[in-house]
Amino acid sequence: MPIKPALNMRSIDAMIIRGGSSKGVFLDIRDLPPAGPERDSIVLKVFGSPDKRQIDGLGGADKLTSKVAVMGPPTRVDCDIDYLFGQVNQELPRIDWSSNCGNISAGAALYGALKGAGHIEGNVAHLAIHQVNTGRRLRAKVPLLNEFPSVDGDFAIGGVPGTGARIDVDFGDFAGSALGGNVLPTGHPRDEFDVPGLGRIEASVVDAANLHIFVRAKDVGMVLTDSISDMQADASLVLRLEAIRKTVSRDIGFITGENADEELRVSMNPLIFAVNAPVDYLATNGERIGAGTYDLYSRSLARFAFSRAYPGSGAAGTSVAAGIPGTIVNEAAPGLRTDEDVYLVRIGHPGGTLDVAAQIEIGADGVRVHQALIGRTARLLMDGKAYIR
């Protein structure tokens, strides 16, 4: 139902859905004004932004919970539903509509199944989701019970307590989705960048599901056994990673000019990952993660904030990078078998571990991605009305 006066305020229908290790407010595009300042103003009010605590809105005072999904009827004939993602800034009156969130994508799949989108085979809803930000097609499978999405299951994901029903989300159509070109935008599996304060740094730039920068953890002085809270408190580490993010963005022509600093505070892209061979460490819930239980150690940062779990799009990009010889990711996981038709990458992140099934093809014309599939859980938390001033 469109926005209307209510209780001396305005109301808009909304759902709150946890998708993977993120949480978002889901709105129907038919209830919103066209894309532009008026729509942005409404979304910012719903979230209580700009305000670090987002105390006067539904935002959760964390980048993982300050996400909006605008859903609607499909505008592609080969898709069942439209999904437009927005990262709502906590400190600036800005929304990044240019990227995607892999975890909220699982929420979009759940939303579609709740609305009866897609087709049912047995007890599974199959959905083709138009990811509007990138124009790509996301494929998802949502298990059903009594015609509605299953809630209970034995599938666990790092960063989320308990278990739930597994939702499969495949980013196989997202090669080059951020820049519209090749998986390797520079044409090389790794390049050197001259970073102020750090000197020459090797990095791999990979465009798959979002734009990703991979560096060696040792090259940025990361203490591998530190908690993610300790890493966030290490201001010099955060600044070193952001300096790399800014330099690479400038050098590849992605974010440049006099407003680059502000744009990098708004844009999720590029995400930067510090990777290493597996080590023993403690997850955020206190669980000990043994080096022998996963293939690649990775920590993710964007917009001056580390992720306390792992970006779903980042998992897709990491798995693709792992299968490309010469990348820093491939180097950091020497025991990983990527010569099989479909290979599995187990990523060790702050919340635990995450498995990605990937299938790529490397040819003279570059890297083709046939599959980058992650398992997620999702749950409807609230269905009702949001009230704004």
Confidence (pLDDT) at 257: 94
HSE of 255 in the Cβ direction (CA atoms, 13 Å)? 24
For residues 318 and 209, the answer to whether their CB atoms sit within 8 Å is no
HSE of 192 in the Cβ direction (CA atoms, 13 Å)? 4
Q: Angle 152-154-155 (CA atoms, 0-180°, nearest 5)?
A: 100
3-state secondary structure of 290: coil
- Does residue 1 surpass a pLDDT of 80? no
Instruction: Provide mean pLDDT across the span 32-55.
Output: 98
d(C-alpha 355, C-alpha 347), whole Å:
6
In angstroms, how far apart are the furthest CA atoms of the chain?
63
Beta-sheet strands, E only, within 328-377? 343-349, 352-363, 366-376
Element (H, E) at 37: helix 37-47
Q: What's 4-33 look like in SS3?
A: EEECCEEEEEEEEEEECCEEEEEEEHHHCC
From 319, 325, 272, select the one nearest 295 (Cα to Cα).
319
Between 313 and 334, whose confidence is greater? 313
- Does residue 77 surpass a pLDDT of 90? yes
DSSP H helix total and E strand total for the chain: 7, 23
pTM: 0.95
- When the pLDDT of each residue in the chain is averaged and rounded to a whole number, the result is 96
DSSP letter at 259 equals T
Q: Angle 49-50-53 (CA atoms, 0-180°, nearest 5)?
A: 75
d(C-alpha 129, C-alpha 25), whole Å:
18
- Does residue 28 surpass a pLDDT of 80? yes
Confidence (pLDDT) at 116: 97
d(C-alpha 64, C-alpha 58), whole Å:
13
The domain spans of the chain are 4-172+378-388, 191-375
Confidence (pLDDT) at 2: 87
Residue type present at position 138: L
- Does residue 266 surpass a pLDDT of 80? yes
Confidence (pLDDT) at 260: 96
Residues 336-384: pLDDT tens digits? 888 789 999 999 999 999 999 999 999 988 999 999 999 999 999 999 9
- Phi and psi torsions of 263, nearest 5°: -65, -35
HSE of 156 in the Cβ direction (CA atoms, 13 Å)? 7
Domains 4-172+378-388 and 191-375 share a fold: yes
CATH class for the region spanning 191-375: alpha beta
From 187, 224, 198, select the one nearest 324 (Cα to Cα).
187
d(C-alpha 303, C-alpha 285), whole Å:
24
Which CATH architecture does the domain made up of 4-172+378-388 adopt? Roll (3.10)
Residue type present at position 183: V
Handedness of CA 119, 172, 354, 52 (dihedral sign): negative
- Phi and psi torsions of 303, nearest 5°: 55, 45
Handedness of CA 132, 135, 140, 145 (dihedral sign): positive
Element (H, E) at 264: helix 260-266
Beta strand 281-282 with 271-276 is unpaired
d(C-alpha 373, C-alpha 375), whole Å:
7
Beta strand 343-349 with 296-302 is parallel
d(C-alpha 122, C-alpha 137), whole Å:
23
For residues 114 and 142, the answer to whether their CB atoms sit within 8 Å is no
- Residue partners of 244: CB distance under 8 A and separation at least 6: 193, 195, 198, 201, 203, 213, 215, 220, 272
Confidence (pLDDT) at 338: 81
Residues 136-149: pLDDT tens digits? 999 999 999 999 99
